[in-house]
Amino acid sequence: MPRKMRVQYAGAIYHVMSRGDRRENVFLDDVDRQDFLKTLAETCQKTGFQVHAYCLMPNHFHLVVETPDANLVAGTAWLLSTYTIRLNQRHKLSGHVFGGRYKALIVEGSGHGYLKTVCDYVHLNPVRAGMLQGEDRLTAYPWSSLVWYAAAREHRPAWMRVERLLGEHGIGEDTAQGRQEFERRMELRRVAEETEEALAPLRRGWCLGSEAFKRQMLARMDGKLGEHHAGALRRENAADRAERIIDQELQRLGWTETDLLSQRKKAPGKLDLAARLRRETIMPLKWIAARVHLGTSKSANGKLHAWMRAQTQPAAEASLVSVETEEPVA
């Protein structure tokens, strides 16, 4: 099955989610839930993970975690494997607890609201699942980090980091008044309608952030994606690589985008650029023809073949002359 790539770097933020094997429950009772949070605390102590939000559901969990070190994969592997061992030992079971590969959506933490979006999504999971009655407060669900956002600082675990999310909600200080305001805002959020279209980037995307942030992440992946990674991610990575090549070539030529548009279709600079895109990216000819303004893909194909033959022919002829003018061996 196609996979999304793990991008690791110091200070990265991720929305991690993992379901039970065959969608079976991963928490059989409250002791299991307490064990998971204990194991999460140990993971944070070992790795430096900082938790912005979590929610434990019957057959899966959500975790918004920041990694001061580039160690998401090692830390999450320890968390999942250790919890699996402990649950199996306690219930005298064997085999997998979590099914398949965990999801890890990378989140921009710039303060522009992306962290707020993903943490609110996590905290509102019990509402979407119908696990709270209309009159219940959100903090009535005990297996969500909202209970820690409502608690005073001295009562929170050291691995819970609340100030960034409070800041994205416009709450400047971690005070009793600030915590009450945060809870009030979350109660307002529970009645806001969330469409499937709005939730799609959180459920099926690979990155939640601005276009500039996505380009930065794609640059980190450049050259590391293979056929086993998700097709949409490979296409987005290839498009970003192509745009960077275009920027390099325009700078070399001293052109702007306007120049690229106004130059004739057979201009050597255009054909050089298109030929490089064909050699160094997987972008289809139709995309290249439209992006470089070469006309239709059919006419671009003819121009490019002729241009590339012309570029390789002088080198071949020079090699032939060199061979013919060598002194015969005695």
pLDDT tens column, 97-131: 998 889 999 999 988 999 999 999 999 999 999 99
Percentage of residues in the chain with pLDDT exceeding 90?
Answer: 55
| Residue 42 CA, distance from chain mean position | 25
Rounded to whole angstroms, how far apart are CA atoms 242 and 245?
A: 5
Segment among 48-52, 225-229, 326-330 with least mean pLDDT: 326-330
Taking the C-alpha atoms of residue 103 and residue 224, their distance in angstroms, rounded to an integer, is 18
pLDDT at 1 over 50: no
Q: The tokens of 3 are what? A: 């996979």
Q: Which residue would you say has higher pLDDT here, 122 or 234? A: 122
Determine contact, residues 265/295, Cβ cutoff 8 Å.
Answer: yes
Angle between helices 297-324 and 285-292 (to 10 degrees): 100
Q: Which amino acid is at 310?
A: A
Place of tokens 């398949």: 100
Is residue 269 scored above 70 in pLDDT?
A: yes
Question: Does the structure show a pLDDT above 90 at 34?
Answer: yes
19 vs 143: CA distance, rounded Å: 16
Measure the CA–CA gap between 191 and 311, rounded to whole angstroms: 64
pLDDT at residue 313 tops 70: no
**Do 187 and 137 form a contact (C-beta atoms < 8 A)?**
yes
State the first-to-last Cα distance of the chain, in angstroms, to the nearest integer: 63
In one-letter notation, the amino acid at residue 199 is: L
Beta bridge partners of 53: 64
Report the C-alpha gap between 195 and 179 in whole angstroms: 28
